[in-house]
Amino acid sequence: MQDRSPEQLPRLITTSISHYCEKVRWALERLNIPYIEERHAPLFHRLATARNEGRSVPMLVTEAGTFSDSSDILQYIDGMSPVSAKLYPADPKLRQEVEKLEDWFDRQLGPSTGVWFYFYLLDRDKLILRLFCEGVEAIEAELFPVVFPCIREAMERAMEITPESAAESLDRINSIFETVNELLADGRKYLVGDSFSACDLTWACLTGLVLMPTEYGTKLPQLSEIPTEMAQTIEHFRATPAGSFALRLFREERDK
């Protein structure tokens, strides 16, 4: 894939801040796979994904087909990578453990951290416009403020963002952190086996919105820009073993 012209490279359709998109960016970069990122503001992404008969981001468009789930994308790109770089272990039992954790984080953690994050920030227009429009085409960045009130309503409805759902999400995040704290209590360096794998990468990305690591692939807010209660919760998560593990992964493994 190294010598392809830009038109032949895989195209990754994203929104800037999405933690599932960060997961795929990190994996592509780690596996040394050149790609073109096509970034959109939320809901504008639907024009791009619909053209490829899909809906959500991340979406990877390749000559071999279109993949529209972060774990499917990781499996696909891992399949073409050298053994020394792989994100899934060769040992079937270990691979099963990695896939099980990855799937759990995808289904339970990612949606919860998303609801919790947007509950606090969706009404902060200036901050949200900056986060959503980082790296998108000028025309989208210009149109976005005009349509943002409708987009906010659509996101609140689709993600069912309410004070109750935010509180339930926080409970779920706390309980997942507790389980990961327990896993790490034996001093292991990675969640499964003795090397970095897809479940470590997924853990780090899908906790990104409650830890706000500086190495995240787009610029997340500073703690000074967000509500105090939200900042305090982030400080709390950062201080847990599971939180400091994710921050270490961002520091040590994100740019490898």
Which range touches ligand GSH (CB under 6 A), out of 69-77, 87-95, 120-128, 239-247?
69-77
By CB under 6 A, tell whether 55 contacts ligand GSH: yes
Rounded Cα gap, residues 233 and 229, in angstroms: 6
Task: Report how many residues bind ligand GSH under the rule CB under 6 A.
Answer: 12
Strand partners for 59: 13
By CB under 6 A, tell whether 208 contacts ligand GSH: no
Of 114 and 243, which has the nearer Cβ to ligand GSH?
114
Which range touches ligand GSH (CB under 6 A), out of 49-57, 116-124, 164-172, 178-186?
49-57
Name which position in 56, 75, 108, 174 contacts ligand GSH (CB under 6 A): 56
Name which position in 37, 38, 106, 215 contacts ligand GSH (CB under 6 A): 106
Rounded Cα gap, residues 51 and 54, in angstroms: 7
Residues 95, 205 contacting (CB under 8 angstroms):
no
By CB under 6 A, tell whether 37 contacts ligand GSH: no
By CB under 6 A, tell whether 69 contacts ligand GSH: yes
By CB under 6 A, tell whether 218 contacts ligand GSH: no
Least distance from ligand GSH to the Cβ atom of residue 175, Å: 20
Residues 161, 119 contacting (CB under 8 angstroms):
yes
Q: What letter would DSSP give residue 10? A: -
Query: What distance lies between CA 64 and its chain's CA centroid?
Result: 24
Name which position in 16, 18, 113, 218 contacts ligand GSH (CB under 6 A): 18
Report the run of H or E that residue 40 belongs to, with start and end: strand 36-40
Give the count of alpha carbons within 13 A of 205, CB side only.
Answer: 28
Residues 143-162 touching ligand GSH, rule: CB under 6 A, are none
Strand partners for 39: 14
Prior bond to 6 cis, omega within 30?
no
Q: Which amino acid is at 143?
A: L
By CB under 6 A, tell whether 121 contacts ligand GSH: no
Which range touches ligand GSH (CB under 6 A), out of 54-62, 80-88, 117-125, 217-225?
54-62
By CB under 6 A, tell whether 46 contacts ligand GSH: yes
Rounded Cα gap, residues 87 and 123, in angstroms: 38
User: Binding residues for ligand GSH, per CB under 6 A?
Assistant: 18, 20, 46, 55-58, 69-71, 106, 114
